[in-house]
Structure formats: structure tokens, C-alpha cells
Amino acid sequence: MDIPYLKNKIRKHYLSRREKIPPFIRNKLSIAAAEHLKTFVLKNHTSTIHAFIPFRTEIDLIPFLKFCLGQKMTIVTPRVRRKPEMLHLVTSSFTDLKKNQMGIYETSSNVIYTGKYDLILVPGVVFDRSGYRIGYGGGYYDHFLADQPDALKVGVGFPLQLSTSSLPHEEHDIPVDYLILGHKKIEITGD
């Protein structure tokens, strides 16, 4: 079986599982992840964070990101362009989000950030214990993470997004350094 086919099959399975999480459980696990993340950024003296705005049934990072704004951290969120390009925009508020043509919420800010990040919060459909992930298949984060080798990369999601076996991956796939999956925190130790 070829890797793209296998990734797509795994993606569909885990998306279906995630969509079945009841909203009150998603909320509870989002709060647990936010608490882990708060401790993480304060302990590591984080000043610049790249984060995703939740899409569909993804974990909700907005309360955590508001906390970070209150701590005077710089928050940058993506705006999807042509595949596989993203603009990275300084986000100072989460009250003015707008849906793009794909249904993804984006900031209305037009202030482009081109610097380095202390921390990148990475979305995924599923992760493994080696830090590899399967996303939505657009390749946006593969390109972005390759350009940020020094940033700490943390995959964020729900506990059921952790695969019990290794995920198929290709040479261009960049693993994350940590996973925060609801109440679980996992340090990646390699293949």
C-alpha cells in the first residue's frame, strides 16, 4: 500500500472518532490541555507562540490563547493561502474571527509575522509516540515546520488522537517534540 493512501485511510478513521466526542467532553479536555499549556509556557518563558484556531471538532485553544495575550505573549495564527502556503498573522484579539472559503476561522489582522517562534502548537488528526502526525493532507504544516527548526513543536489534541502504533511517514514529515492530548502530556523520545 502506498503511504498517501494509507494516511488517508487512517485520517478518515480518526476524524470519525474525534467527531463522536460529545461537546461537554471536548470542552473538559480542552480545559485540561489549556492547563498543561499554561504551565508549559510559563515554565519555558515563552514569548512568541504560533497557534491554530480550532476547526470543526478540534481542541479549543482560544481560552489558553487569551491567557497568553494577558501575559503579553505574541500570538501568531495562520491564514491559509494557496497550497501549501500560509500567512502568519499577529493576533491580538479573538473577537473578530472570520470564516474563510474552507470554513476555517482566521483573524482579521493583516500584520504579518516573519520572525522565529519559541513554541508552535501543531494541529493533527492523529499522532504517534514518535511525534509523527497525520493532518488534513494539505501539507501546510510540513512546509511551515521545516522553516522553523529551532522552535519547540507541540502537537495538541484529544487523548483518542494518539495512535497505539507507529504512523506511516515520509521524508518531509517533521515530528513534534511533545504531545498535549487533553489531560495527557507526552515527551517525544524519538523513533
Q: What is the mean pLDDT of residues 80-85?
A: 78
CB 20 within 8 A of CB 131: no
Evaluate if residue 47 carries a pLDDT over 90: yes
Say yes or no to pLDDT of 1 above 80. Answer: no
Domain 3-75+118-187 has CATH 3.40.50.10420: yes
CA-only gyration radius of the chain, Å: 16
Query: Residue 126 belongs to what H/E stretch?
Result: strand 126-127
Backbone torsions φ then ψ of 77, nearest 5 degrees: -125, 155
Place of cell 517525544: 188
Classified as helix, coil or strand, 118 is coil
Residue 98: Cβ-neighbour burial (10 angstroms; 0-12, 13-18, 19+): exposed
- The secondary structure of 114-158, three-state, reads CCCCCEEEECCCEECCCCCEECCCCCHHHHHHHCCCCCEEEEEEC
| Residues 143, 109 contacting (CB under 8 angstroms) | no
Does pLDDT of 83 surpass 80?
A: no
**pTM of this prediction?**
0.95
Q: Output the CA–CA distances (angstroms, integers) from residue 42 to 10, 26, 71, 132, 165, in the order listed.
A: 35, 24, 9, 26, 32
Name the pLDDT band for 191 (thresholds 50, 70, 90): low
Q: Would you say residue 112 has pLDDT above 80?
A: yes
Domain boundaries, the chain: 3-75+118-187
Q: How many CB atoms lie within 10 A of CB 73?
A: 17
Cβ-based neighbour number of residue 35 at 10 Å: 14
